[in-house]
Structure 1
């Protein structure tokens, strides 16, 4: 895919800020997801469908402002491939949370994706990894594994679901970077939300034995309010994620994506009383330290082949 002809200095600090902001929102999303599926036994397939379907509704004001131009693209296949990756990642991830796997453990396993992203970014996007990125990503990943503690009793077969999510979201991240280099962030976001809905609907229909009535029955009461909140948060998080990839390298951003782990661990501790052991604090310190190290070494650098910020 060709780069945008308008190339200038990238804004890695701004990209990192967008990524961390998206991580804070995703932590709230994960807490609400595990709470509504566990407390009200709302199915993960139904939740994924309504969450992303209604996110599209929340994004409509931006779509109306942009007009039909938001759907103009020279790369329709890339959008479809990205959305297929993202949909499978959503199904695996939400399924793990619905199964009751602790949020910190789900996110820790999902953190295997940076290795996949770095390799893919090098092979597909031609990005330079460099020793600083390699060191920071490795330290962050080791910190995640300390929190995961696969030797502990809490590690179950359901913990394997986020491995699938990690691989799928790694592919989605690389495709997001490619698209963000040549298209507006709003267009990248709207295609994700628009194409996710019918694919999630297919998963939902399959889970209900193609019973259309029960599959698409709108939830009521508290569940409806939670789903609406999830939809609004998801629209905001996806937009921030796209803005991040529009301003910095995919491999550079992965270390800041690791900040999700201590955020989600703290959220799970406060809401679900999940009491992590001492490895949590060591791992969290390694992740935050790696992020700050990478920010210091790369802030202000000129990075080639970056698009002009929107």
Structure 2
């Protein structure tokens, strides 16, 4: 039997490369998904609430093999209402995100939704009582300055719909905080199954209230494709985090901005202006600074 120390360097480098590749693949899948979603809502005029419902309904159908594999026992929990609230926030985030894609260019939506880590930091301080130092508050402030540069609420071209991606970032941040509180007391399978089981009914209730729409023809085909892309993108994301350390693969997730800018330019002809890159640079820089600090803190704790 070989000594593990002899093989670990090669093993680590191969896992790092694979983790980065899976994260980039997830970014490409999400970019295509965003194009499909915006085409459905902006070009074909299919209601955003119905788009969100059918997308995740088809994603649930494609996820049934996983649900059958883990079984109904995975839903056993001592914290049912925490799961319900978490999924409610996630569903609201999905709804506002799809509505945002129906109203603003992809590049703007992607850049603004990247403010989610800053909402998580503030929520962790307020609701979880975590310590937030001066550096993290400063990084959060820089990130929001970047968001304001992209939004430009002082300009004549500003519309309130541009705030929808930020609202979705806030809602997804709230869902992430509850997920964080559950990871210490629940199995990952339980957290995943509750999300899959509840997300479609939540989206369905909103779609029903907004006026239910049944797809057909090209719209039906695109919605099935969106559901499949949702599952593929999430699966690639899971592979990335299970193959390599989260702190290592996370920066590759930031490639979703240029990937979505490229996709929006190729399909819709969106040409982002210079202020996007300034605002995005501030948001990305602040996010990476926070991640670097977290890595240092984890090493000190270890």
> In structure 2, what is the equivalent of residue 92 of structure 1?
96
TM-score, normalised via structure 1 length: 0.74
Contact 1:259 1:288 in 2 (8 A): no
Describe how 1:228-239 pairs up with structure 2 within 5 A. Answer: 228-238=224-234
**How far apart are 1:118 and its partner, in Å?**
0.8
> In structure 1, what is the equivalent of residue 127 of structure 2?
124
Distance 1:177 1:303 in 2: 20
TM-score, normalised via structure 2 length: 0.76
> In structure 1, what is the equivalent of residue 270 of structure 2?
274
Residue by residue over 1:273-301, the C-alpha shift from the partner in whole angstroms, topping out at 9 and shown as x without a partner, is 11121122223333444444455554475
Partner of 1:302: helix, strand, or coil? helix
> In structure 2, what is the equivalent of residue 79 of structure 1?
83
Residue by residue over 1:56-99, the C-alpha shift from the partner in whole angstroms, topping out at 9 and shown as x without a partner, is 1121122222223322222111110011111222222212222x
Residue by residue over 1:118-140, the C-alpha shift from the partner in whole angstroms, topping out at 9 and shown as x without a partner, is 12112333444345544444444
1:60 aligns with 2:56: no
**How far apart are 1:102 and its partner, in Å?**
1.4
Describe how 1:10-49 pairs up with structure 2 within 5 A. Answer: 24-49=28-53
> In structure 1, what is the equivalent of residue 218 of structure 2?
222
> In structure 1, what is the equivalent of residue 178 of structure 2?
175
Contact 1:180 1:242 in 2 (8 A): no
Aligned partner of 1:70 among 71, 74, 82: 74
Matched positions, count: 283
Give the superposed CA RMSD. Answer: 3.7
Structure with the higher helix share, 1 or 2 = 2
Contact 1:136 1:255 in 2 (8 A): no
Q: Which structure 1 residue ranges, 5 or more long, are not aligned? A: 1-12, 209-214
Partner of 2:272: helix, strand, or coil? coil
1:150 aligns with 2:153: yes
> In structure 2, what is the equivalent of residue 211 of structure 1?
none
Q: Which has the larger radius of gyration?
A: 2
Contact 1:110 1:166 in 2 (8 A): yes
Distance 1:223 1:86 in 2: 24
1:166 aligns with 2:169: yes
Partner of 1:276: helix, strand, or coil? coil
Distance 1:181 1:244 in 2: 21
> In structure 2, what is the equivalent of residue 284 of structure 1?
280
